[in-house]
Structure 1
Amino acid sequence: MSEVKLHAETRSEFGKGAARRIRREGKVPGVVYERGLEPLHVTLPGHDLLLALRTPNVLIDLVIDGKGSQLAIPKAVQRDAIKGFLEHVDLLKVKSGEKVTVEIFVNTEGELAPGGNLLEHVLSALPVETEATHIPEGVTISIEGLTAGDAVLAKDVKLPAGTTLAVDEDTVVLQVLSAQAEEAAEGNGDEAAGA
């Protein structure tokens, strides 16, 4: 898990006009939430924040003027739909040892059994509960030898120590589809579209 240090300034201006001014300066408006306390409105350096958010579930060491240093994780990120630049970020203040619910990437390794079957990622990210300062980057599931009709359930995924599922254990994470069944489903869709 990566930890990135960012310097932030508290802000007292709100609304669309203030947010536009902040973004013109190359910064991003944000809010830091802490359980049981009032949210803290901040301004973050845009480029540094963009780089930090490239790492999934990044832990941010947030140095806020006049408030000292605190750990936070991203909870919601708003981007411009066309240009992709950051418009706003919500951060959640966390403490070492505190449990948080996050989504971690599902990676696969190995090869399906021969036969031209297709692997469907029902969940590309798995919801888990883990310690805020030790969030795993992801899990790797072996698909070696799986055949049509096989599925990997959440309870079958080997999680890192200290991490538990935050989803029903019988939730399908991956499943193998028969290539013929996939072709038939596409054919039925084409026929319906032509009707």
Structure 2
Amino acid sequence: MSEIKIKAETRTEFGKGAARRIRRDSKVPAVLYGHGIDPIHVVLPGHELMLALKQPNALLSVDIEGDAQLALPKQVQRDPIKGFIEHADLLVVRRGEKVTVDVPIVVTGEVISGAMVVTEHASVPIEAEATHLPETIEVDVEGLDAGAQIHASDLKLAKGSSLAVDPEQLIVNVVPAPTAEQVEAELETAEAEAGVERDEPQVVSEAAEDDATEAAPSE
């Protein structure tokens, strides 16, 4: 994984008012910590940070007045409605150091007809060097039938990476696809639990249809 360079400003103002002013300028308050150093409070460019964090486990090279610090995003707070980044906690790392991160699972391929894939875990904890973190882990389900299971021990990891979870943990499960009747029954059960009442279809008798036909004006 390549480093993503981002330039930071030293933060000198604190408090809610100062944080609001920073965000109004399309910037993000952040803090770097780890390796026994005192927390470093900085301001990062909002757009650049947002683009960088679209990459899973992005390795940032944060330039603070000419001093570059390697860091991984540890906790990112976002606005619950608009989604912009409100604050970021960044963990300082060193080259060659091993860290544990959650790596997203990506399922590829198609199971046989009549089966479906259930992803039991969307990510898996992996230990790897901070500068060689995998972005994703692919799981190929091509041609698998219902009953097939893929556990953590079955995953193909990048060189230098190792599992940080029970090898027997179920990651992907291939199960029989539900029938239309099962889907309808589950839908009715969910609606009943939610208090949703379905409108009964109106049944028109043959006699009523004949009366309507007779009452209709002739052309």
One fold, TM greater than 0.5?
Answer: yes
Deviations 1:39-60 (A, max 9, x none): 1111111111111112111111
Specify whether residues 3 and 27 from structure 1 end up closer, same or farther in structure 2 by C-alpha distance, changes over 3 A only. Answer: same
Q: 1:123 aligns with which of 121, 126, 132?
A: 121
Q: TM-score, normalised by structure 2?
A: 0.81
Specify whether residues 163 and 92 from structure 1 end up closer, same or farther in structure 2 by C-alpha distance, changes over 3 A only. Answer: same
Say yes or no: does 1:37 pair with 2:27: no
Is contact 1:102-1:128 (8 Å) kept? yes
1:110-189 matches, within 5 Å, as 110-115=109-114, 117-180=115-178, 184=182, 187-188=185-186
Q: What is the RMSD of the two structures over their aligned residues, measured on CA atoms?
A: 2.0
Is contact 2:93-2:130 (8 Å) kept? yes
Structure possessing the higher radius of gyration over alpha carbons: 2
Deviation at 1:36, TM superposition (A): 2.2
Deviation at 1:142, TM superposition (A): 1.4
Deviation at 1:12, TM superposition (A): 3.0
Counterpart in the other structure of 1:69 = 68
Deviation at 1:193, TM superposition (A): 4.8
- Give the SS at the match of 1:38: strand
Deviation at 1:143, TM superposition (A): 0.6
Unpaired runs of at least 5, structure 2: 194-219
Deviation at 1:37, TM superposition (A): 2.6
Unpaired runs of at least 5, structure 1: none
Deviations 1:126-174 (A, max 9, x none): 2111100011111111112222122110011010111111111111111
- Quick one: which amino acid aligns to residue 165 of structure 1? L
Report the identity percentage.
50
Deviations 1:167-194 (A, max 9, x none): 1111111111211389647725633652
Deviation at 1:25, TM superposition (A): 1.4
Deviation at 1:16, TM superposition (A): 1.3
| Highest RCO, 1 vs 2 (Cα 8 Å, sep ≥ 6) | 1
Is contact 1:131-1:163 (8 Å) kept? yes
